Amino acid sequence: MFNSKDRSKFFDLIIPIVPILNSSNSYDQLLKYFESGGIIKKFDTTYLERLSLYIDDMRLLKNIYNEFLIYYGRIQSTELDSKET
């Protein structure tokens, strides 16, 4: 298949992508997002520290934040308490 030298080169340059978020800095990012949304007071910081160990992707962090806003808005329109487990 690759016997001849007349073949195309698909990649001229490979750029490594360093992830913005990993488990070591996800707590800081959680705080940043939740403080900007004004919902940081609704959480215990110990809970967020424990949760942040499992968040290693920025998309996951944004999804958690957005889904919390949606579900919290729904809970506020009912008689449920958001702090109950």
Q: Which residue has the higher pLDDT, 64 or 6?
A: 64
Candidates 45, 33, 44; CA nearest to 69 is 33
Output the pLDDT for position 53. Answer: 92
Q: Where are the domains of the chain?
A: 26-76
- Convert the pLDDT of each residue in 3-62 to its tens digit: 666 666 677 777 777 677 888 889 999 999 999 988 888 888 898 899 999 998 889 999
Task: Assess contact for 22 and 56: CB atoms under 8 A.
Answer: yes
Candidates 69, 68, 9, 58; CA nearest to 29 is 58
- Angle at 64 (CA atoms; ends 73, 24), nearest 5 degrees: 145
